[in-house]
Amino acid sequence: MFDTLRNALAALAGIVCLGGLPLEAKAFDGMWRVGASTGRACVSELYDAGCLVTEESGTSVGTYLGYGLSDMFDLNFELQYSGHQVRETDRYADLGTATVGVHYKFDVFRWIPYMGLLGGYGQVWGASPIGEMVSGPMGSFVLGVDRCIIPEFSVGLQIRDDVGLAFYSQYFTTTLRLEYRWGIDE
C-alpha cells in the first residue's frame, strides 16, 4: 500500500512540474474525452470459492469515455482491469469493472480537479480452483486532477475506491491517465 501511495505522489509531482506550461484548462459542455489509464490496484478481502487474494497491489489498466453535460458535469463510462496473486498459490485472480456515472469538475486555471460517483458491474475470474467467475453490482468514488498539455490532450492522476456488493469489500486504484479531447469550441 505504501508503494502505491509513493508512486501516486511521484506521479502527482510529475504532473505539478507540467504546471509551468502557459495553458488554460477549460471544460465545456458537449466536449468528448477518451483516454487510457495505468497504475496500481489494491484489493482487500476478495473472496471467490473460498480463496482469499493477497492485499498486495497488482497492475491496473483501464480506458474511459466522457461527455461534457455542462462545464461542471461529465457523464463517464469507465472500464478497469487488474490482476492479483492468490495467497499461497501461483494462480492469479483477474478483476474487471465496467461503470457509468457523473464527475463534478472544479474548472480552474490550468488544472481540472474533479470528483465523481459511478455505479456498475464487476467480475472476478481465475481465483478459484475450478476457475469459476463471480460477478455483481458495485459502486465507485473517484478523486482526480487533469492537467491540460495542449487543448486536445491532458494528463492526470486519479484515485478510485470501488465497493463491490457481491464479491469483494474494497478495490482501491491509483492511476495515471492520458486523455484526448475534442468538441472544444473556442
Q: What is the pLDDT of residue 83?
A: 86
pLDDT over 90 (residue 16): no
DSSP letter string over the chain? -HHHHHHHHHHHHHHHHGGGS-------TT-EEEEEEEEEEEEES-EETTEEB-SS-EEEEEEEEEEESSSSEEEEEEEEEEEEEBTTSS-EEEEEEEEEEEEEE--BTTEEEEEEEEEEEEEEES-STT--EEEEEEEEEEEEEEEEEETTEEEEEEEEEEEESSS-SEEEEEEEEEEEEE----
Q: How many domains are there within the chain?
A: 1
The CATH number that applies at residue 44 is 2.40.160.20
pTM to 2 decimal places: 0.78
What are 52-110's pLDDT values in tens digits?
555 567 899 999 999 999 889 999 999 999 987 766 667 777 888 999 999 999 876 67
Query: Which residues constitute the domain of residue 114?
Result: 2-182
